[in-house]
Structure 1
Amino acid sequence: MSGHVFISYSHASDAEYVAALAEFLKAAGVPVWFDGKIVTGARWANVIQERIDSCAAFVVVMSPASAASQWVDREVNQAEETDRPLMPLLLEGKVFFRLNDVQFEDVTRGEMPSPAFVDHLRSLLHMSGVSDPAPVDSGHRRPVNHRAPRPVGSAAFGSFSGGLRKGTRGRLLVAAGVVVVVALTYGVARLNSRTSAAPSSSPSASARTSPAPNLTTFSRTASQRVAPPHGKAEDVLAVALSADGKTMATSSWENRVGVWDVSTPSAPRELTALTEHTGNVFAVAFSTNGKLMATAGSDKRVVLWDMTNPAAPREVGAVTDHTAEVYAVAFSADGKMMATGGWDKRAMVWDVSNPSKPRRLSTLSGHTGDVLAVAFSADGKMLATGSWDHQVMVWDMSSLPSPKRIATLTDHTSGVRAVAFSADGKMMATGGWDNRAMVWDVSNPSTIHRVTTLTEHTRVVLAVAFSADSRTLVTGSWDELVLAWDVSNPSAIHKIATLTDHSRPVYAVAFSADGRTMATGSHGDNLVLMWAVSNG
């Protein structure tokens, strides 16, 4: 693939929206190709065919006019025949009959696609070998000729890793209930505990002088597949565990947050499903005492929940200051502050000591791309923000209400998707679209520096998490792997396990505060896996 997204649409009615869409995607770093002027002839038809054949993803804007367009029909045919990833947008009317089984995003209010939709385009481009490409488009347009499309078989998103699996509104929204299929499996999961040599940026293996061997092992205790009443499973976007390890929250493409009793990790039980959000829920987080939960989503809101009774969470407050989708949320260790990050390129810090009246303390500016990750250090003195602008910024929270930026880390060569601090306050981990995870020494905030770069993942690193004892780092990736690393000696970091149980991208990794339980969630196989963690 040559590294562009092809946009198919009706020039007769949808040209204005598509022009805005193209500008939006280009501004987000997604190169697009669409034909903007009417041009006739076989030569131009050949150009269109070549651009479809070489695209990394095929976006079709669905409307009554495009449904009746001969050219849109031909383009969809070509995309299906060449197995291009289909990413439909519903602008007006009904979903194409031929695409009835393909997952779509609803933009019937004329809005731009969600960050998650754009993230998928970016990932497809990344897998095609494109990193931050220059935008491309065309100054031409095919002739308009209307006829009804032939109803033929559709190519579903399930045919490739990473396609959208739920329309964000409209036909796929269902009742609040969630059907859960729990398949319990016991025993040690498939592990590859081969110790790998440290990456080139790390000291050699001979330099390893770990104070004590890290004997951490992971045994899968349960597999949870979340499926709404219509029977189609939901992708898992985020997972959080309460500090006591008894409650878990999950979020998905739909406006759902699932709350689970995992006090017995081998027998998880769904308690309730929260549906107050009106769009995708991208992030969930518990306060340290487990009494407060925050959920953030594409409706530009962060909702605060009283979790005193996990079976009946009560909405107690919300923040609405972000002007675009909210992608990340985190609490400080004392539970008094919350940080949020969004598509509006801003991070915000909130006083949530009174959850019913959250108060914005500060807006952190400086990122030039959407803020995808936020994390507090264990002592609450630092906040890290990761962005699509390739940067990680570290902020001194002792200088509130005007936090001072104490570090800008530019080692990643693409967007930063995940950030986490170790509990002992000595390390920070980051993961990004450059397929790399990095470990940083943050023991001295004035001299933050990279310790090593972990390069074993072959796709985007979507999640990073430290164990409670700060001895183990776990990374989740688009390559469907969960890797565990011994970080007990930062100068000799090495891999200790490879977990291969997921069959689709791993979007989320979370540890319980006592370190005995880990949860991993996947976009694609629709599973949350529960792991018993033993330190030998």
Structure 2
Amino acid sequence: MALLIGTGVPVGLRAHTVSQARAIALDGIKQRGSDWYAADLLGYVAVLTHSDGYTTSALAETLIEERRGFLPGTATVIDVALSSDGKLALISDAQEGSGLWRLERDPEADRENLTGSRFTTLDRGFGPVALSSDGRIAVIGEAASGDIKMWDLVGAADPKRTVVRTGNFKERLLDVSLSADGMTLFAGFENGSVEVWRLGAEEKPRLLARVREHTSGVRVVSASADGRKLLTVSQDSAIVWSLTDPSHPGLSSRLMSAEHAPGASGWGGGVMSADGRKAIIDRTIWDLTDPARLTQVGSLSSPAEGGTPVAIADDGSIAATVDDEPGGVSRIDPVIIWGLKDPSHPIRLATLKVPVSQSWQLAMSGDGAVIAVGTRAGGAYSWLLPKLRSSLIRDACVASGPRRPPPGFWESISEIEPPDVLNEELFNICSRL
């Protein structure tokens, strides 16, 4: 007679189920790259047969690899920007210069990913970059010289270049940002100053304002879509600016890192949502509804090194951070996708990993569905994510809808005995997760 465990399940039966589930998961891993439908199906069935760390992580890795694309012709990525629809990427590369890539679905492939193709090189230089929401205006800066150039991409075959600023190596340029329409440019410099420029396809760029309220380098400039609100972050402080009159930026609020991040070396990363209502400063989440009275509403777990990059969807509901933990040994830092609908309780929705090198720059499309990541030595990658609500596994299942395998299909992809779940008449993977 079989020995029973506390739940009333025979130990021998339970051991068989666990072994069966893990064998099915392994078959799913083997199908990666050759048959993504089979890899997904096997992964889901393994989780339904027995859900544990092995089966769930195997399925998550399959989904992540299936949805990952590479941007060929990239090597050492300095910065990356995306158009709001996620179809255009602007990449600055220390070896390859700065150029544009199209991100498209391959209709003949069974993968749920985007294919990157470089269609133009804009400049042999490299540095911080920005792209307007519609992908029409591209801005490329050179960090060392402080030079800034813009391109009007309305004629993609022959982009029109304009020199915005000649820095003459007087001030190191750290970051640039654009309003959604690409008509207002913001730039942050190592000496603590911030510049506001007016751009136009038919007019010469004009410097509207230059302010200096930071005592250290401005590593982040992040503008709202309408260009009326700006977040700037330096090691010592974070400032929210009112730009009702861009020629006279008004300081709405200032946060000091010494007060809000005691014991840390200072701030370095940050971003503001396009609607101007939410911001992330390193790992703290802030409500900017009243820019004169900022309210901390939450924080992200697993505190990372200060200065790690962060991106956020237009409405602030999804965010991404590079999980650059101090003392990490793998140096392949994953990108964490966060659900922020309730910012007081952020949900860790997915973990994205690049095959090699260290993730250190990232960008997100307006709806949070496309992620672009630049690495220090492994080029740039993209992910096409499902509409994330609760977890990558369930949300990807709902989006793609794996169904009951047709007769004979299971035997063609696995030698493992089909689990009982496949013999049930009302078989629906997603409803059981």
* Short-chain TM bin: 0.5 to 0.7
Letter matched to residue 269 of structure 1: S
C-alpha distance in 2, partners of 1:478/1:253?
Answer: 21
Q: Which of the numbers 391, 397, 401 marks the counterpart of 2:247?
A: 401
**For the residues of structure 2 that align with 1:330 and 1:185, how far apart are their CA atoms?**
41
Equivalent residues in 2 for 1:139-288, closer than 5 Å: 220-226=67-73, 234-254=75-95, 256-264=97-105, 266-277=114-125, 281-288=126-133
Separation in 1 of the partners of 2:76 and 2:175? Answer: 17
Residues 357 and 415 from structure 1, CA distance in 2 versus in 1: closer, same or farther, beyond 3 angstroms?
A: farther
Partners of 1:334 and 1:236 lie apart in 2 by 25
Q: Distance in 2 between matches of 1:185 and 1:525?
A: 26
Change (3 A) 1:355 1:416: farther
Query: For residue 243 of structure 1, what is the amino acid of its counterpart?
Result: S
Match of 2:279 in 1: 428
**How far, CA to CA, are the matches of 1:464 and 1:184 in structure 2?**
33
* Counterpart selection for 2:220 from 339, 355, 373: 373
Q: Is the 8 A contact 1:419 1:464 kept in 2?
A: yes
Contact persistence 2:72–2:116 (CA under 8 A): no
What is the aligned counterpart of 1:494 among 342, 347, 362?
347
Identity %: 25
Counterparts of 2:97 and 2:34, CA distance in 1: 23
Cα distance, 1:415–1:492 mapped onto 2, change above 3 Å? same
1:337 lines up with 2:165 in the alignment = no
Match of 2:297 among 414, 426, 451: 451
- The code of the aligned residue for 1:426 comes to R
Paired residues, what number? 313
- Hey, what does 2:154 align to over in structure 1? 308
Conserved? CA contact 1:420–1:428, under 8 Å: yes
Q: In the alignment, is the contact (CA less than 8 A) between 1:328 and 1:372 conserved in 2? A: yes
The 1:360/1:381 distance shift into structure 2, 3 A limit, reads: same
Matching residue of 1:524:
377
**Alignment-derived partner of residue 467 in structure 1:** 313
Q: Deviations over 1:69-98 (max 9, x none)?
A: xxxxxxxxxxxxxxxxxxxxxxxxxxxxxx
1:357-372 alignment, distance < 5 Å: 357-372=204-219
CA distance in 1, matches of 2:298, 2:199: 35
Quote the Cα distance in structure 2 between the aligned partners of 1:502 and 1:344.
37
Paired residue secondary structure (2:292): helix
Deviation at 1:448, TM superposition (A): 0.6
Shift of 1:492: 1.9
**By how many angstroms is 1:395 displaced?**
0.9
The answer (yes or no) to whether the contact 2:317–2:341 under 8 Å persists in 1 is yes
Letter of the 1:245 partner, please give it: G
- Counterparts of 1:468 and 1:533 in 2: how far apart (Å)? 16
Report deviation, 1:355: 6.5
**Structure 1's 260 and 325: CA in aligned 2 closer, same or farther, altered over 3 A?**
same
CA distance in 1, matches of 2:72, 2:96: 17
Question: Superposition RMSD on alpha carbons, in Å?
Answer: 2.9
Q: CA deviation at 1:349?
A: 0.5
Pairwise CA distance, 1:477: 4.1
Aligned to 2:15: none
Tell me, in whole angstroms, the C-alpha distance in 2 between the residues paired with 1:303 and 1:263: 27
Shift in Å at residue 374 of structure 1? 0.1
Counterpart Cα distance in 2 of 1:417 and 1:185? 42
Structure 1 residue 345, shift from structure 2 partner: 2.1
Give per-residue Cα distances to partners, 1:287-331, cap 9 Å, x unaligned.
Answer: 123211001112211110111233543312321258322121111
1:497 shift after superposition: 2.0
CA 1:472/1:515 → structure 2, altered by over 3 Å: closer, same or farther?
closer
- CA drift at 1:273: 2.2
Contact 1:259 1:311 survives alignment (8 Å): no
Taking the aligned partners of 2:162 and 2:246, their CA distance within structure 1 comes to 25
> Which residue of structure 2 lines up, in the alignment, with residue 416 of structure 1?
267
Alignment of structure 1 residues 67-106 onto 2, 5 Å: none
Q: For 1:262 and 1:484, locate their aligned partners in 2 and report how far apart those are by CA, in whole Å.
A: 20
The SS at the match of 1:490 is coil
Greater Cα offset, 438-447 or 392-401 = 392-401
TM-score, normalised to structure 1, is 0.54
Cα gap change, 1:417 to 1:355, in 2 (>3 Å): farther
Structure 2, unmatched stretches of 5+, are 1-32, 44-50, 52-62, 106-112, 326-332, 389-394, 396-433
Amino acid at match of 2:302: E
Give SS of 2:151's match.
strand
Matching residue's letter, 2:153: M
CA distance, structure 1, for counterparts of residue 287 and residue 232 of structure 2: 16
8 A contact 2:191–2:215 mirrored in 1: no
When residues 523 and 415 of structure 1 are mapped into structure 2, their CA distance, relative to the original with a 3 A threshold, is farther
Once the two structures are superposed, the pairs formed by residues 127-142 of structure 1 within 5 Å of their partners are none
Quote how far apart the aligned CAs of 1:255 are: 6.9
C-alpha separation between the residues in 2 aligned to 1:423 and 1:513? 8
Provide the rounded CA distance (Å) in 1 between the counterparts of 2:355 and 2:174: 23
1:268 Cα deviation from its structure 2 partner = 1.4
SS in 1 for 2:244: helix
In structure 2, what residue type is equivalent to 1:473?
Answer: A
Cα distance in 1 for residues equivalent to 2:296 and 2:238: 12
- Cα distance between partner residues in 2 of 1:301 and 1:477: 31
